Structure 1
């Protein structure tokens, strides 16, 4: 289904100018939300033991095997624009969120996170639980093999966080690049909520926008992997002498660079390993389209 076309048609019928609708729609994304609540399409399973290709060892790090999070049947997943998932086969997620976060380094974190793609038709078998320490997590309530349950999928509309903030007077800077200057932004935001009422949060979401950790990177943007990458890019360019950003322009340039990064990367999967952690796998659009899942990056965050 063409969700963007549906939104565009409804907005035009309500008399909102087409140029505003088109600009706003550039920021409208659709994500696949999965949970154990029946009512959607059955698409995968969380917890339990994964089905791995015959002969493949359980994904591990130098500290031990990585906990299995979830698997998805790509053929069963809904299709949404901007998320070029494989037409078939399976996606498996592995992550030790505590080891990943404790590195405090995106590069080092990748040793403790893995996305495995299993092509359709591959011979697979349910893996045996690997040997591991009993105290795999600081949180003693967590088991290495998580509770097993089916995942059902629905499609949800998502907008960036700056559209959800009603405290407009606190915003500063040039807002045209964020489309906050649109005269009908509140009506367009309300239409999104009307067409796609938000349900309870997902166990695992695919696509959409990156979850932030609750702190502001600028007056308009919360800190996400994209703002972090954008900041690293700007700082590297300044250090190399390629760019000079006056202090009073830093927030604006950071937002513009973050928007560029957001167009290049997409959240492949996001979930809460436990209450105070966020797990986020991001991948470039071209790597996703080419099936290069080894290029996905993990950005685990602690929220307290």
Structure 2
């Protein structure tokens, strides 16, 4: 189903000008939300032991084996615009969120996160639990092998959190489409067409979950805003760019928006202790080419 066409048709039927609908739709994304609530056919499993390709060792880091998070059946997942998942095969997610969060750099964090793509038809076997320290987590409630259960999927519409946040609005927001005359009506229409389901264990696609802190007056702390800050700082240090103080927020927001168009959240989830958020991001071209080794982990402490 083409969800953007569905939205476009409904908005035009309500008499909203097509140019406004098109501008608004640039910010509208669709995500696959998976949870243990039965809803149709299973699309994967969370916890338990993974089925690894025969002969493949359990993904590990220098600190030890990485906890298995979930497996996702690409053939069973719904199709959504902007998320070019493989037509078949499985995605296996591994992450030690505490080690990842304690890393001193984005590059270092990748040692503690792994996405494994298993093509359809690959001979696999249920892996044995690897040897590991008993105190794998600071949070003693967490086990190395988590509770196993089926995941089911729904499709949800998403807008960036700052898009409809009146408290964070400032002047000159044309580039964020906040000056659209029918913005509130369009936001309401999205809610009518796709009522939000707040229950999800793993999110695929959509927007990056933020850590609630504002980076500018209009944008929250996400991997994209962090990367945008690093890029601007590097270009300034190299003498490639001079940003006047009164333009810094605008330039940061523009760079973050560019990165949001270049990257997509492949998988986001609570690792199990409700105080961290784990996020795997990947460039659209790498996702389409199946280069899952290019995905980056961005784990954050939320409290």
Specify the SS of the correspondent of 1:286: helix
The structural deviation recorded for 1:162 is 1.5
Specify the SS of the correspondent of 1:205: strand
Specify the SS of the correspondent of 1:244: coil
The structural deviation recorded for 1:104 is 3.4
Matches within 5 A, 1:143-292: 143-167=143-167, 170-273=168-271, 274-292=273-291
> Do the aligned partners of 1:226 and 1:262 also contact (CA within 8 Å) in 2?
yes
Find the aligned partners of 2:198 and 2:226 in 1 and give their Cα distance. Answer: 28
The structural deviation recorded for 1:171 is 1.9
Find the aligned partners of 1:26 and 1:268 in 2 and give their Cα distance. Answer: 19
The structural deviation recorded for 1:165 is 1.2
Find the aligned partners of 1:87 and 1:149 in 2 and give their Cα distance. Answer: 23
Where do 5+ consecutive residues of structure 1 fail to align?
none
Q: Which runs of 4+ in 1 moved over 2 A?
A: none
Find the aligned partners of 1:65 and 1:173 in 2 and give their Cα distance. Answer: 50
The structural deviation recorded for 1:161 is 1.0
Matches within 5 A, 1:16-55: 16-55=16-55
Where do 5+ consecutive residues of structure 2 fail to align?
none
The structural deviation recorded for 1:240 is 0.5
Specify the SS of the correspondent of 2:166: coil
Aligned to 1:89: 89
Find the aligned partners of 2:161 and 2:174 in 1 and give their Cα distance. Answer: 16
TM-score by length of 2: 0.98
The structural deviation recorded for 1:173 is 4.0
Find the aligned partners of 1:270 and 1:122 in 2 and give their Cα distance. Answer: 26
Find the aligned partners of 1:143 and 1:282 in 2 and give their Cα distance. Answer: 26
Find the aligned partners of 1:272 and 1:40 in 2 and give their Cα distance. Answer: 23
- Give CA deviations for 1:71-91 in whole Å, capped at 9, x if unaligned: 001000000000000000000
TM-score by length of 1: 0.98
> Do the aligned partners of 1:41 and 1:154 also contact (CA within 8 Å) in 2?
no
Aligned to 2:141: 141
The structural deviation recorded for 1:41 is 3.6
**RMSD between aligned residues:** 0.8
The structural deviation recorded for 1:48 is 0.0
Within the alignment, does 1:4 sit opposite 2:8 as a pair?
A: no
